[in-house]
Amino acid sequence: MEANVQAEKGQLSIHTDNIFPIIKKFLYSDHEIFLRELVSNAVDATQKIKKLADFGEFNGELGELKVSIKLDEEAKTITISDRGIGMTAEEIKKYINQIAFSGAAEFVEKYKEKEDTRGNIIGNFGLGFYSAFMVAKEVEIITKSFKDGSEGARWICDGSTEFSIEPAEKTDRGTDIILHIAEDSEEFLSKYRLTEILEKYGKFLPIEIEFDEKIINNPTPIWVKAPSELKDEDYLAFYKELHPMGEDPLFWIHLNVDYPFNLTGVLYFPKLKNDFSARKEKIQLYSRQVFITDEVKDVVPDFLTLLHGVIDSPDIPLNVSRSYLQADGNVKKISGYITRKVADKLAEIFRNDREGFEKKFDDIGLFVKYGIISDEKFGEKAKEFCLVKNTQGKHFTFEEYTAQVKENQTDKNDTVVWLYASDLQKQDAYIQSATKRGYDVLVFDSVIDPHFINGIEYKIEKTNIKRVDADTLDKLIEKEIKLESVLSKDDEEKAKNLFEQTLGGAPKLTISVEPMPTDELPVVITIPEFIRRMNDMAATSGQKSMFGDMPQMLNVAINANHPVTQKILNADENEQKQLVRHAYNLALLSQGMLTGSELTAFVQQAVSRL
Ligand SMILES: Nc1ncnc2c1ncn2[C@@H]1O[C@H](COP(=O)(O)OP(=O)(O)OP(=O)(O)O)[C@@H](O)[C@H]1O
Is there a contact between 341 and 301 (Cβ–Cβ < 8 Å)? no
Model pLDDT for residues 376-425, shown as the tens digit of each residue? 999 999 999 999 999 999 999 999 999 999 999 999 999 999 999 999 99
Q: How high is the pLDDT of residue 135?
A: 93
pLDDT range class, residue 194, cuts 50, 70, 90: very high
User: What is the three-class DSSP state of 395?
Assistant: strand
Question: Based on the domain organization, do 506 and 586 belong to the same domain?
Answer: yes
Model pLDDT for residues 235-291, shown as the tens digit of each residue? 999 999 988 888 889 889 999 988 888 899 999 988 876 565 555 558 898 988 988
Q: What does DSSP say about strands 416-421 and 441-443: parallel, antiparallel, or unpaired?
A: parallel
Q: How high is the pLDDT of residue 126?
A: 65
Domain count, the chain: 4
pLDDT range class, residue 316, cuts 50, 70, 90: confident
- CB neighbourhood size of 286 (10 A): 24
Decide if pLDDT at 351 tops 60. Answer: yes
Q: How high is the pLDDT of residue 483?
A: 83
Q: What is the CATH number of the domain that holds 97?
A: 3.30.565.10
Question: Based on the domain organization, do 207 and 226 belong to the same domain?
Answer: no
Percent of the chain at pLDDT > 90 equals: 54
Task: Round to whole Å and give the CA distance between 556 and 510.
Answer: 6
Question: Based on the domain organization, do 436 and 523 belong to the same domain?
Answer: no
Is there a contact between 441 and 383 (Cβ–Cβ < 8 Å)? no
In a domain, residue 371? The reply is no
- CB neighbourhood size of 117 (10 A): 19
Task: Round to whole Å and give the CA distance between 288 and 304.
Answer: 22
Model pLDDT for residues 327-339, shown as the tens digit of each residue? 566 777 888 889 9
Q: How high is the pLDDT of residue 411?
A: 92
Question: Based on the domain organization, do 350 and 289 belong to the same domain?
Answer: yes
Q: Sign of torsion, CA 419 424 426 428? A: positive
Model pLDDT for residues 78-89, shown as the tens digit of each residue? 999 999 999 999
Closest CA to 69 of 218, 242, 217, 291: 217
Task: Round to whole Å and give the CA distance between 452 and 373.
Answer: 6
Is there a binding annotation on residue 81? no
Is cis: bond before 317, omega within 30 of 0? Answer: no
- The alpha carbon of 95 and the centre of ligand 1 are apart by a number of angstroms equal to 7
Q: What is the mean pLDDT of residues 40-45?
A: 95
pTM value is 0.79
Is there a contact between 123 and 41 (Cβ–Cβ < 8 Å)? yes
Question: Based on the domain organization, do 191 and 46 belong to the same domain?
Answer: yes
Domain that holds residue 20: 8-215
Task: Round to whole Å and give the CA distance between 559 and 565.
Answer: 7
Q: Which atom of ligand 1 is nearest to the CA of 82?
A: 1
Task: Round to whole Å and give the CA distance between 456 and 505.
Answer: 39
Is there a contact between 117 and 51 (Cβ–Cβ < 8 Å)? yes
Separation of first and last alpha carbons in the chain: 111
Question: Based on the domain organization, do 291 and 163 belong to the same domain?
Answer: no
Q: How high is the pLDDT of residue 505?
A: 61
Task: Round to whole Å and give the CA distance between 451 and 458.
Answer: 12
Query: For a pocket test of ligand 1, which of 80, 90, 102, 134 has the largest count of ligand atoms closer than 8 A to its C-beta?
Result: 102
Helices (H), 385-437: 398-405, 428-436
Which residue, by CA, sits nearest to atom 12 of ligand 1?
95
Q: Pick the last residue of a domain from 454, 476, 498.
A: 476
Closest CA to 386 of 432, 453, 304: 453
Question: Based on the domain organization, do 254 and 343 belong to the same domain?
Answer: yes
Q: Which atom of ligand 1 is nearest to the CA of 126?
A: 19
Which residue, by CA, sits nearest to atom 7 of ligand 1?
41
In a domain, residue 367? The reply is no
